[in-house]
Amino acid sequence: MNSFQRINLKRRLVVMYAVIILPLMIISLYLMYELNVFCRSYDAIVHNVTHANEYNLEFKNEFDSVMYQMVARSLTKNEVEASVGMKDPDTLISDAEKAFESLSSTTSSGQARDKIASIKKLLGTLRKRMEDINDSIDSEGSYDENMERLDTDIRILTQLIQERISEYIYFESESMEQIRRQMDEQRLRVMNVTIVAIIIALIASVLFYMLISRSITEPVANLELKLLQAQINPHFLYNTLDNIIWLAEDGRKEEVEDITSSLSTFFRTTLSGGRDFIRISEELSHIEAYLHIQRQRYRDILSYRIDVPDELRDYLIIKMTLQPVVENALYHGIKNKRGGGMITISGREEGNYVYLTVMDEGMGMDEERLSYLKGVIAGEIKPSADNAGFGMSNVAERMRLNYGNRCGINVRSEHGAGTEVEIFIPKSKDKINKADKNEQKL
């Protein structure tokens, strides 16, 4: 998987996380908002009921008491506070009017608001009856008449106000029950929506998982297919078979056997029993078979030399690492140079690394082409549609996947002078995969 595919995979993972997380976040925010609305409504009703209940318990007794003191002692409303230390009745009515006006703005029930309107009217009537008694006291009216007014007007009105307050509390408390039922209903709705959202998120995550898995497996399979196509080039195979047929028709039996043997070695190493890692000696046999076959075709322009010390040949290498490099050297180097040239494969060890070098005496590359190839190898540039540089890109990506940063490919080239590709990998003689072990058991 190259860098472009990794970026695409990261984007798909971000989308998958968004598909899972965003609906749950939206539901959580909506639930918090609804809960806040219900809590504020519930708190407002509790406040209203508590405040109204205070008036229900205190207003009648306090107002009746202050009016009795006014009548019994013949005190006007302006004298009662100074004489008996009680609030004057005008202030009591004004405070009540303000309180119920405030309750009206936060009351949710229409019936409760109707009761507040009735209470305000009764308070207005109460003020008039209080003023009648106050005027009578001020003009030294009859004590008995004022006592009768106290009993028939004041106490009846305060009783009615108390009843209306009780009725207001009843209807407002009923609103509390309605809100509680709404909260239960909303809770069920939220639960249902949450379940549906989770199901949708799970389905979406499964679909995205399948999509992402396919985006991983399909490109890998296509890397593999293109790699095999690049290494077992149909033209190479057809030309080899045509060459074998031509030699057979010409009666050149020994050369037919030679090429057929090399082709068999080439395919045997390509398959390698399903192994990913093979010995460097096997990789070199694969390259020698490939070059030997190509030498039969390009006899006049191609020569080669393999010069890798024996002490390096037991180290492990990823299968078909060198072949794409050698193929590039032949097709993009030697073939394009008049007079041909030599391909040399050499090796050395330095510290914990093995260095394998493929050098050709071909056309080489200019700075632009060399920069492009280095970008392809680094995974920073996508290989072009004509597969130019694909084999090298494939080799580099497979090395990164298996070795991480403990490997690399260095390319040096000069136009008209040739190209040198150096591959370095960590030394290893013990990394034998499952297919190796199965083959050993057989």
The CATH number of the domain holding residue 269 is 3.30.565.10
Q: Is it the case that residue 441 has pLDDT exceeding 50?
A: no
Please check whether residue 227 lies inside any domain of the structure.
no
pLDDT-derived band at 284, boundaries 50, 70, 90: very high
In this predicted model, which residue has the larger pLDDT, 281 or 25? 281
pLDDT-derived band at 386, boundaries 50, 70, 90: low
pTM across the whole model: 0.50
pLDDT confidence of residue 220:
59
140 and 252 assigned to the same domain: no
Strand 302-307 to 341-350 pairing? parallel
Domain count, the chain: 2
pLDDT confidence of residue 20:
67
199 and 263 assigned to the same domain: no
Report, as an integer, the average pLDDT of 226-231.
52
pLDDT more than 70, % of the chain: 79
pLDDT confidence of residue 440:
37
pLDDT confidence of residue 136:
92
DSSP label at residue 433: -
53 and 169 assigned to the same domain: yes
* Residue 24 domain boundaries: 3-208
304 and 349 assigned to the same domain: yes
Please check whether residue 226 lies inside any domain of the structure.
no
> Whole-angstrom Cα distance, residue 7 to residue 210?
18
pLDDT confidence of residue 219:
62
Backbone angles phi, psi at 424, to 5 degrees: -125, 135
Q: Is it the case that residue 176 has pLDDT exceeding 80?
A: no
Which of 10-24, 82-96, 141-155, 184-198 comes out lowest in average pLDDT? 10-24
Instruction: Tell me which residue of 5, 52, 10, 312 sits closest to 168, measured CA to CA.
Output: 52
204 and 238 assigned to the same domain: no
pLDDT confidence of residue 249:
79
Please check whether residue 223 lies inside any domain of the structure.
no
148 and 247 assigned to the same domain: no
pLDDT confidence of residue 217:
62
Q: Is it the case that residue 434 has pLDDT exceeding 50?
A: no
Which of 271-280, 337-346, 359-368 comes out lowest in average pLDDT? 271-280
265 and 135 assigned to the same domain: no
Backbone angles phi, psi at 400, to 5 degrees: -65, -40
433 and 309 assigned to the same domain: yes
Q: Is it the case that residue 435 has pLDDT exceeding 50?
A: no
pLDDT confidence of residue 442:
33
State which H helix or E strand residue 304 sits in. strand 302-307
Please check whether residue 123 lies inside any domain of the structure.
yes
pLDDT confidence of residue 432:
42
Which of 24-38, 220-234, 321-335 comes out lowest in average pLDDT? 220-234
Q: What would the pLDDT profile of 25-54 be if each residue is shown by its tens digit?
A: 777 777 777 767 766 766 777 777 777 777
Most confident range, picked from 66-75, 223-232, 428-437? 66-75
Please check whether residue 246 lies inside any domain of the structure.
yes
Please check whether residue 94 lies inside any domain of the structure.
yes
pLDDT confidence of residue 235:
62
The residue among 192, 208, 224 that closes a domain is: 208
414 and 377 assigned to the same domain: yes
In this predicted model, which residue has the larger pLDDT, 5 or 87? 87
Residue showing tokens 């082409």? 369
Please check whether residue 435 lies inside any domain of the structure.
yes
Please check whether residue 116 lies inside any domain of the structure.
yes
Q: Is it the case that residue 118 has pLDDT exceeding 90?
A: yes
pLDDT-derived band at 355, boundaries 50, 70, 90: very high
What spatial distance separates the first Cα and last Cα of the chain, rounded to whole Å? 33
> Whole-angstrom Cα distance, residue 289 to residue 291?
6
Q: What would the pLDDT profile of 235-274 be if each residue is shown by its tens digit?
A: 677 777 777 887 787 788 888 888 888 888 777 766 666 6
pLDDT confidence of residue 3:
53
143 and 255 assigned to the same domain: no
Work out the burial of residue 234: count CB atoms within 10 Å of its CB; fewer than 13 is exposed, 13-18 middle, 19 or more buried: exposed
80 and 192 assigned to the same domain: yes
410 and 309 assigned to the same domain: yes
pLDDT confidence of residue 433:
42
What's the mean per-residue pLDDT of the chain?
Answer: 81
